Amino acid sequence: MGLFEERARRTEWFLDARFGMFIHWGLYSIPARGEWVKSAEKIPTEVYDQYFEEFNPVRYNPKEWAKLAKEAGMKYAVLTTKHHDGFCLFDSAYTDYKSTNTKCKRDLVKEYVDAFREEGLKVGFYYSLLDWHHEDYPHYGDNQHPMREEESFKGAGHNWKNYVEYFHNQVRELLTNYGKIDLMWFDFSYENKNLAGTEFEHMSGETWGAKKLITMMRELQPDIVIDNRLGGDARKPEPDLHAGDFVSPECMMPAGEAVDVLGRSIPWELCLTLNENWGYAKNKPWEYKTTENVIHMLVECVSKNGNMLINVGPNAKGEIPKESIRILKEIGEWMRVNSDSIYGCGKSELEKPEWGRYTQKGNILYAHIYDRRVGSFRLGGLEGRIKKARILEDGAEVRLEKPWNGLDYPKDAFVQLEIAGLYDEKDTVLE
């Protein structure tokens, strides 16, 4: 099997799932100004260490997180096992900078894995390639580290090989000690100019020892789905070994589906904050996105063959913010009656309509109607092809008017159209 086919096989559940929970949690939940706070405010290590001394999430109960994710209709989750600050939420043998050495003494990753598994959700790990704590990670003159005045990468005397070995070892731990792991989310590759501005550091691909890393990972967890932030080209007909199984657009909605150079669809996932912060931040209620907005973005992703990962940033006590809980529960209410138009669905063969979005699964076309029209509702390009039309939420019949194929519909109704005559029985594969 070629790498393209292997990717397709591995990502089958992922494409079916469409919707997951991202969890950014770590020491930075204490200052509550986002996960970049150490770098953004140039906080010296000794000062940041006070959060390590203090960390004690007494109300951490991942079973509640898992229940919430499930209630929202999410099918998988991704937790920051280590973010850029280097703090590990798991009991690693390779560092002291870990949750089991804080007041709480708990392996937070283990409890997360057990809780989400129990709810039947797929389990993923986020792991930061950057590490502002490890002494061999180059703390050079870029915006990745608080000590911007420090020496450049090449001159600094950091033992890069040590760091690579360290993080490979940690990935091995993560993929050995916690049972089956469904997804790995590395973050991130970049190009960096040294202080003198004379050289570029390619913090990507083989700089991370990517091929060796991936080979090890595939041995430990043959089915694991991996993101594309190790670098590598996912768009080649035969994608790079370290290109990953899905692409992760830069926190923005792509214009259309992701395709390789041959025009074949590539799995992708949009990650999204509810409040402009990944790590916990004290947000005002009005800084949150609206539920409707988030649902529309989920639909938009699916209408472009993509997934959506919604972020929550639990606080220092281990609780997901109330506003996030409210939004996720409201999404759950919508999903309870409309998830048929999300799971296993993808891009429709029809153009984006002016009144909303289409998603499609086989010969069922889901019309996500956002705008009320004047008079009856006109569908373009479907004349004579609709066998029947139903409201997805309650199964109610929607009257079809000819010759216009106009529909009477309530605003925000989701009309399930079954299209007749498009495919014959044998030919159900969409292109």
Binding site for ligand JFZ (CB under 6 A): 35-36, 187-188, 250-251, 271, 278
Smallest distance from ligand JFZ to CB 95, Å:
20
Shorter beta-carbon distance to ligand JFZ: residue 76 or 278: 278
Least gap, CB of 208 to ligand JFZ (angstroms) = 15
Q: Does residue 403 have a cis peptide bond before it, meaning omega lies within 30 degrees of 0?
A: yes
Q: Cα separation of 134 and 87, whole Å?
A: 10
Residue whose CB is less far from ligand JFZ, 204 or 405? 204
The least distance separating ligand JFZ from the CB of residue 271, rounded to whole angstroms, comes to 5
Nearer to ligand JFZ, 79 or 407 (CB): 79
End-to-end C-alpha distance for the chain, whole angstroms: 21
For the bound state, the minimum distance from the C-beta of residue 344 to ligand JFZ, rounded and expressed in Å, comes to: 26
Structure tokens at 245: 């199984």
Contact 115, 56 (CB under 8 A): no
Is the Cβ of residue 196 or residue 251 nearer to ligand JFZ in the bound state?
Answer: 251
Confirm if 385 and 375 have CB atoms less than 8 A apart.
no
The total number of residues written for the chain in this structure:
431
User: Distances in Å between the alpha carbon of 415 and those of 95, 298, 388, 391, 405?
Assistant: 54, 17, 10, 4, 13
Q: How far is CA 74 from the centre of its chain?
A: 11
Question: How remote is the C-alpha of 144 from its chain's centroid?
Answer: 22
> What angle is formed at CA 338 by the lines to CA 335 and CA 344, rounded to 5 degrees?
90
Name the residue nearer to ligand JFZ (CB basis): 255 or 374.
255
- Tell the smallest beta-carbon distance from residue 173 to ligand JFZ (Å): 21
Q: Which is nearer to ligand JFZ, 163 or 334 (CB)?
A: 163
Whether omega for the bond prior to residue 167 falls within 30 degrees of 0, making it cis, is no
Beta bridge partners of 270: 308
| Residue 323 C-beta: closest distance to ligand JFZ, Å | 19
CB of 105 to ligand JFZ, least distance (A): 26
Q: Is the Cβ of residue 251 or residue 259 nearer to ligand JFZ in the bound state?
A: 251
- Name, in order, each residue with C-beta under 8 angstroms of 214's C-beta and a sequence gap of 6 or more: 226, 230, 241, 242
Q: Which residue is at the shortest CB distance from ligand JFZ?
A: 250
Nearer to ligand JFZ, 306 or 346 (CB): 306
CB of 230 to ligand JFZ, least distance (A): 12
Q: Name the residue with tokens 């509702």.
A: 377
Residue 97 to residue 45: CA distance in whole angstroms: 12
